């Protein structure tokens, strides 16, 4: 690639991940207002998140052949078109049963965008995949920070204006991608069901996929449920959103900046093991206080702890499966989105109709973090033999 085309591709990927970061935190940002407007119970809120998760799962399973045959540019354009449609439609919803299909479409668009953007960056810098993916995904943290911060401080909890604002940014990104030349389809990568069977027979991919399943369940649990939990502890709505943005999202952002350098000298498996241990401590701690200042500190530390897990685990998948990288990544990412669906459903079901029970339901987060430690310890010996695995792939 020329220097100009390379920098343009990086800018396109950064914009895509930034907007996706804004979308990832939009549900948790608008839910407190939407639940009041339409009288939604925690269980119904869980179904709203589930609809988005189903869209993400469908997209991650099906987008591989599209990227393979038509190229990443086609995938990014389709994804952002669906996002724009969903975000302009959501503010015009009149109730629970209209919100569900729009969230499904939002999940479809988001799943296509995140898969295509990560695959694009993985192609740009294969030699330092883990570090590069962490640097890219710090813009996810920046987008996640922006949405609740803007909603609480600039738009005064106006969820309609917030949806329109992000829709406008998504439309601008769509236009930028239209004018950006991207590599032609390779015909070599993508999620192929014919290849999924042999890959799933490899314990390393199963365990790495399980790691993403558990991690995404934890991260999305914070994005979607933390504001409601903090409000139930007596913290003001604006303060709760600021804790989500200036606490959790900022922690994700700064953590990925720091870990991108650490990964030059520390193995990815060790980084994710330490992260899982710290996640267990911080997510449990943040649920034990109703003090806004202490909650903000603990939520920030939880964000720092979680920062490296998603991009670093994807890099571990790419390193372990160099011949069918996108197929393996597609399986792992799909597992992550299933984690999103399961956690939302579990948390909503445990909370039931009582917002005060969200605290108990969110104990899923430290429990899943402990399971991540177990999975990491199990997969480490397999990753040491990655060159043998690659040779037989």
DSSP annotation string for 248-307:
IIHHHHHHHHHHHHHTTTS-HHHHHHHHHHHHHHHHHHHTS---HHHHHHHHHHHHHHHT
Choose from 56-60, 134-138, 270-274 the range with maximum mean pLDDT.
Answer: 270-274
Res 371 pLDDT > 80? yes
State percent of the chain over pLDDT 90. Answer: 29
The alpha-carbon radius of gyration of the chain (Å, integer) is 19
pLDDT at 1: 46
pLDDT at 249: 82
The domain 3-392 is placed in CATH, from the list 2.30.30.110, 1.20.1250.20, 1.10.10.60, 2.40.30.10, at: 1.20.1250.20
Res 197 pLDDT > 70? no
pLDDT at 293: 92
pLDDT at 271: 94
How many Å apart are CA 28 and CA 225, to the nearest integer?
A: 6
Domain ranges of the chain: 3-392
- Residues 49-58, mean pLDDT to the nearest whole number: 86
For 212-265, write each residue's pLDDT tens digit.
999 999 998 898 888 888 988 889 888 988 898 888 888 988 888 888 888 888
* Residue partners of 363: CB distance under 8 A and separation at least 6: 284, 287
Res 22 pLDDT > 70? yes
**Mean predicted lDDT score pLDDT of the chain:** 83
How many Å apart are CA 252 and CA 275, to the nearest integer?
A: 12
pLDDT at 300: 95
- The CB-based long-range contact list for 61-65 (8 Å cut-off, 24+ gap) reads 61/191, 61/330, 61/334, 62/191, 63/111, 63/112, 63/115, 63/116, 63/191, 63/330, 64/115, 64/189, 64/190, 64/191, 64/192, 64/326, 64/327, 64/330, 65/190, 65/191, 65/192
For 120-177, write each residue's pLDDT tens digit.
766 665 556 566 666 777 787 788 778 878 887 888 778 888 889 999 999 999 999 9
**From 235-244, 269-278, 348-357, the region with the lowest mean pLDDT:** 348-357
**From 58-72, 97-111, 172-186, 339-353, the region with the lowest mean pLDDT:** 58-72
pLDDT at 59: 87
For 277-311, write each residue's pLDDT tens digit.
999 999 999 999 889 999 999 999 999 999 999 88
pLDDT at 158: 81
How many Å apart are CA 229 and CA 234, to the nearest integer?
A: 9
**From 14-23, 182-191, 235-244, 308-317, the region with the lowest mean pLDDT:** 182-191
**From 61-65, 257-261, 294-298, 349-353, the region with the lowest mean pLDDT:** 61-65
- Residues 194-212, mean pLDDT to the nearest whole number: 80
């Amino acid at each position: 690639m020329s220097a100009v085309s390379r920098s343009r591709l990086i800018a396109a990927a950064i914009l895509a991940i930034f907007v996706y970061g804004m979308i990832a935190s939009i549900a948790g940002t608008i839910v407190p207002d939407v639940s009041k407007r339409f009288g939604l119970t925690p269980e119904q809120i869980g179904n709203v998140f589930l609809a988005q998760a189903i869209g993400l799962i469908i997209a991650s399973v099906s987008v591989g052949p599209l990227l393979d045959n038509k190229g990443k540019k086609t995938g990014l354009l389709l994804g952002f078109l669906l996002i724009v449609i969903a975000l302009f439609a959501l503010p015009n919803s009149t109730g629970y049963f209209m919100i569900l299909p729009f969230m499904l479409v939002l999940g479809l668009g988001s799943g296509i965008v995140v898969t295509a953007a990560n695959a694009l960056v993985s192609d740009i810098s294969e030699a330092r995949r883990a570090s590069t993916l962490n640097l890219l995904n710090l813009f996810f943290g920046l987008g996640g920070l922006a949405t609740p911060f803007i909603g609480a401080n600039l738009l005064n909890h106006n969820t309609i204006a917030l949806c329109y604002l992000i829709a406008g940014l998504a439309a601008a990104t769509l236009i930028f991608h239209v004018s950006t030349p991207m590599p032609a389809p390779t015909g070599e990568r993508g999620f192929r069901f014919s290849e999924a069977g042999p890959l799933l027979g490899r314990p390393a991919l199963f365990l790495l996929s399980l790691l993403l399943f558990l991690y995404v369940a934890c991260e999305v649990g914070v994005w979607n449920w933390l504001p409601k939990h903090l409000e139930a502890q007596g913290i003001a709505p604006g303060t709760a959103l600021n804790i989500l943005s200036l606490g959790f999202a900022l922690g994700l952002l700064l953590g990925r900046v720091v870990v991108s350098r650490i990964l030059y000298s520390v193995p990815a498996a060790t980084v994710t093991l330490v992260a899982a241990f710290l996640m267990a401590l911080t997510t449990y701690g943040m649920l034990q206080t109703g003090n806004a200042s202490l909650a903000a500190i603990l939520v920030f530390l939880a964000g720092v702890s979680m920062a490296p897990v998603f991009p670093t685990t994807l890099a571990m998948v790419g390193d372990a499966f160099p011949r069918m990288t996108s197929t393996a990544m597609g399986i792992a990412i799909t597992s992550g989105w299933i984690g999103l669906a399961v956690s939302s459903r579990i948390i909503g079901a445990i909370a039931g109709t009582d917002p005060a029970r969200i605290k108990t339901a969110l104990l899923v987060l430290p429990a899943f973090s402990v399971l991540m430690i177990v999975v990491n310890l199990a997969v480490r010996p397999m990753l040491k033999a990655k060159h043998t695995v690659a040779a037989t792939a």
